[in-house]
Amino acid sequence: MTPSPRLRVLTGINTTGTPHLGNYVGAIRPTVRASRQPDTESFLFLADYHSLIKCQDPERVQRSTLEIAASWLAAGLDPEHVTFYRQSDIPEIPQLTWLLTCVTGKGLLNRAHAYKAATDQNQAAGAEPDDGVTAGLFMYPVLMAADILMFKAHKVPVGRDQAQHLEMARDIAASFNHLYGDLLILPEAQIDDHVALLPGLDGRKMSKSYNNVIPLFGPARELRKQIMGIVTDSRAPGEPKDTEGSALYAIYRAFAEDDEAAAFAQAFADGISWADAKQQLCDRIEQEIGPMRERYDHLMAHPAEIEALLLAGAQKARAIATPYIGTLRQAVGLRPVDATPKRDKKAGPARTGLPSFKQYREKDGLFYFKLTSPDGTVLLQSKGFESPRDAGRVVKQLQTEGSSALAELENNLDALESQRQEVEKALEQLRMVAEA
Ligand code: TRP
């Protein structure tokens, strides 16, 4: 018996742009930390199919994928512990995308924020609403739903801006399940509103769109130059300075332990010069980022190492995706024409209520229990037990451990399905040989 299924956490990383300190503090560092938790199973992938929506420069697509992968690995992502892969290495994802596309209302996609923003902008400019809008942008939420549903993720850590996409993934999964049976897991968004929002060079939120970012893995002297350029007020050395509203202090805070931050605040009160404060900030960031930069530079110089890691990650991911897409294809009717349709226990009208256990005594004097669905179908029939307590104990066990047992059965089903497909293929080949 395998241990009970762990919480499965999955998130995608856009492969556009070069990561900056804000991305590191707000996304990379917390995600890498969370991925080390023993009770979770982490899936992290490079959303390179998504990047094609925004970027149609092939060299840049490739370069960004490399840079982002190197950044996450350098920041401590452990591919032994996390399933780390590139979206486009998983052919099952676009397959699932199509299955989902066919159960997704077009109206649902019309309401997506990103699409609506594009059409609103066009309308404001007096253009046709769909001017310059690709079907890729329109379909973005379906591809994202496939990313998530393909791996039966329970939790999806994302920024607040992605909350709507998660709602859509749930809606799409529910539509599919309604038609074909409970095959997809409805994911939950995990939105952390407490992640540090780093100010940029000008004190506004650090963001590419404000052009105020400090790149995560530039050369050390570049980092120094950038930090020296952070906007401060005109207070002279010796004058007490406010930590409140100081971008310098806020960035320091995001890197420092509590006692270090307290000491830094005291130095502000004691009138540290801005130049010295910047020097201290520089040293503190460098202490954390410096060793990572070495690893980053190494990886960037050896892209084959990254490629190998990504392919190994894809293999791990596909061990799940391949059998599962088989089950889903089977469910929607994409099956060999001569296959006997599987009795579809799961599909059909939505069931209402929950199955329940009933205990009783038979004429043979033994004690039994059965699990029946609300419509009276017997789902499970026990053997006879000597005492009602023995039967009761097994019922308890089923009630408490049933979900993990079920999950295991599901995994077995998926594996069997892929074996069935293999056997069918072999049979097909044998038939061809026999006919020749
Ligand atoms: N759309 C996400 C973002 O902009 C990236 C992403 C793509 C993603 N697929 C995903 C996130 C699946 C979570 C799960 O940040």
Domain 7-197+302-332 CATH assignment equals 2.40.50.200: no
Domain covering 356-435 in this structure, CATH number: 3.30.160.160
Angle at 314 between CA 309 and CA 316, to 5 degrees: 95
pLDDT tens digit sequence for 113-154: 999 999 999 999 999 999 999 999 999 999 999 999 999 999
149 lines ligand 1 (CB under 6 A): no
pLDDT of 167 over the 70 cut: yes
Q: What is the DSSP string of 309-354?
A: HHHHHHHHHHHHHHHHHHHHHHHHT-S-TTSPPPP-SS-SSPP-S-
Taking the centre of ligand 1 as the mean of its atom positions, its distance from the CA of residue 278, in whole angstroms, is: 35
Nearest to 72 by CA among 13, 21, 18, 28: 28
Residue showing tokens 């486009």: 88
pLDDT tens digit sequence for 345-396: 555 444 456 788 888 898 899 999 998 887 778 888 999 999 989 998 888 8
End-to-end Cα spacing for the chain? 46
Q: Which CATH architecture does the domain made up of 217-298 adopt? A: Orthogonal Bundle (1.10)
pLDDT of 236 over the 60 cut: yes
Q: How many CA atoms lie within 13 A of 364 on its CB side?
A: 8
Tell me how crowded residue 150 is: count the other CB atoms within 10 A of its CB.
Answer: 26
Q: Give the ligand 1 atom nearest the CA of 159.
A: 15
Domain boundaries defined on the chain: 7-197+302-332, 217-298, 356-435
- Look at 135-144, 314-323, 327-336, 347-356 and tell me which has the smallest mean pLDDT: 347-356
* CA distance linking residue 381 with residue 39, whole number of Å: 34
47 lines ligand 1 (CB under 6 A): yes
Q: What is the pTM of this model?
A: 0.77
50 lines ligand 1 (CB under 6 A): yes
92 lines ligand 1 (CB under 6 A): no
156 lines ligand 1 (CB under 6 A): yes
Taking the centre of ligand 1 as the mean of its atom positions, its distance from the CA of residue 369, in whole angstroms, is: 46
4 CB-near residues (< 8 Å, 6+ apart): 401, 403, 404, 407
173 lines ligand 1 (CB under 6 A): no
